[in-house]
């Protein structure tokens, strides 16, 4: 786990930011040191924004960090995300690193700007993001939802339904799932195999083939 002094500081910082900006501002702290993507959230303020609580935790950034691609990890500032019930959030993700530069935690801010977007002309400067994105990234409530979303994304990347996929298409989809950390989720292999109509042996061979 993160050191007690570090956690205490992050808890106070989260509470202070949430208090400053009100109930539409969710602030969340992930502990990556436990290497458990299914329960990484150790503190959250205004969790009603995304419907999450302490003990939850799956998100794309958490899986990215746990996959160990440390050299490619960068803080994400002022980008768009969305919840399953349709809220649009303006988010910031900051990695907390140890002395060696490895990520050991994540400090995230998610501000609900749904109503503000309805008044986008007047509030354009406030809602502007550094990076234009066609589709906001989804924030999942649990690992099952996250895995479903990743599988859906893999199908979009291939560009055809599973029934029409060739072996090469499925390898491409499995490669995406592997790179996004989907297989860190418990029993994800079973769900992926069932969705693509392949065996466990075939799945592992596709993963190896994708690496090559």
User: Does the predicted model carry a pTM greater than 0.85?
Assistant: no
Residue 43 has pLDDT above 70, yes or no: yes
Measured distance CA(61)–CA(69) in Å, rounded: 11
Among 50, 205, 202, which residue's Cα sits nearest to residue 139? 50
Residue 120 has pLDDT above 70, yes or no: no
User: In this predicted structure, what is the pLDDT of residue 36?
Assistant: 75
Q: What fold characterizes domain 4-140?
A: Beta-Lactamase (3.30.450)
75 close to 94: Cβ distance less than 8 angstroms: yes
Measured distance CA(140)–CA(81) in Å, rounded: 10
Measured distance CA(189)–CA(174) in Å, rounded: 10
- DSSP single-letter state for residue 136: P
User: In this predicted structure, what is the pLDDT of residue 140?
Assistant: 73
pLDDT tier for residue 164 given thresholds of 50, 70 and 90: confident
- Chain region(s) in the chain for CATH 3.30.450.20: 4-140
Task: Outline where the chain has alpha helix (H).
Answer: 4-21, 60-66, 114-118, 124-127, 143-158, 167-179, 188-196, 200-211
Tokens of residue 124, six digits:
């354009």
User: In this predicted structure, what is the pLDDT of residue 61?
Assistant: 74
Residue 17 has pLDDT above 90, yes or no: yes
3-class SS of residue 39: coil
Residue 129 has pLDDT above 90, yes or no: no
User: In this predicted structure, what is the pLDDT of residue 110?
Assistant: 96
**Mean pLDDT for the stretch of residues 74-78:** 90
Q: What are the beta bridge partners of residue 93? A: 76, 108
Residue 71 has pLDDT above 70, yes or no: no
Nearest-Å Rg of the Cα atoms of the chain is 18
pLDDT tier for residue 77 given thresholds of 50, 70 and 90: very high
89 close to 80: Cβ distance less than 8 angstroms: yes
Average pLDDT, the chain: 86
Give the burial string for 163-181 (b: 16+ CB within 10 Å, else e): eebeeebbbbbbbbbbebb
3-class SS of residue 121: coil
User: In this predicted structure, what is the pLDDT of residue 125?
Assistant: 60
pLDDT tier for residue 103 given thresholds of 50, 70 and 90: confident
- Least-confidence region, from 34-38, 41-45, 99-103, 112-116: 34-38
Q: Which residue has the higher pLDDT, 68 or 34?
A: 34
Residue 132 has pLDDT above 80, yes or no: no
Q: Which residue has the higher pLDDT, 135 or 172?
A: 172
Tokens of residue 19, six digits:
């208090």
User: In this predicted structure, what is the pLDDT of residue 42?
Assistant: 93
Tokens of residue 65, six digits:
């960090």
């Amino acid at each position: 786990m993160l050191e007690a002094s570090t956690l205490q500081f992050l808890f106070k910082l989260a509470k202070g930011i949430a208090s400053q900006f009100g109930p539409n501002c969710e602030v969340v702290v992930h502990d990556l040191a436990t290497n458990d993507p299914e329960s990484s959230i150790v503190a959250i303020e205004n969790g009603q924004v995304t419907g999450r609580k302490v003990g939850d935790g799956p998100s794309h950034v958490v899986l990215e960090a746990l996959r160990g691609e440390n050299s490619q990890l960068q803080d994400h500032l002022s980008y768009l995300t969305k919840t399953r019930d349709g809220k649009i959030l303006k988010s910031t993700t900051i990695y907390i690193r140890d002395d060696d530069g490895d990520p050991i935690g994540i400090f995230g801010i998610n501000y609900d700007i749904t109503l503000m977007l309805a008044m986008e002309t007047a509030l354009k400067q406030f809602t502007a993001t550094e990076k234009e994105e066609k589709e906001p990234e989804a924030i999942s409530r649990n690992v099952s939802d996250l895995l479903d979303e990743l599988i859906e994304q893999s199908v979009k990347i291939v560009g055809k339904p599973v029934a029409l996929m060739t072996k090469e298409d499925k390898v491409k989809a499995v490669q995406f799932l592997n790179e996004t950390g989907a297989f860190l989720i418990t029993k994800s292999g079973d769900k992926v195999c069932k969705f693509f109509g392949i065996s466990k042996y075939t799945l592992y061979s596709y993963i190896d083939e994708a690496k090559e």
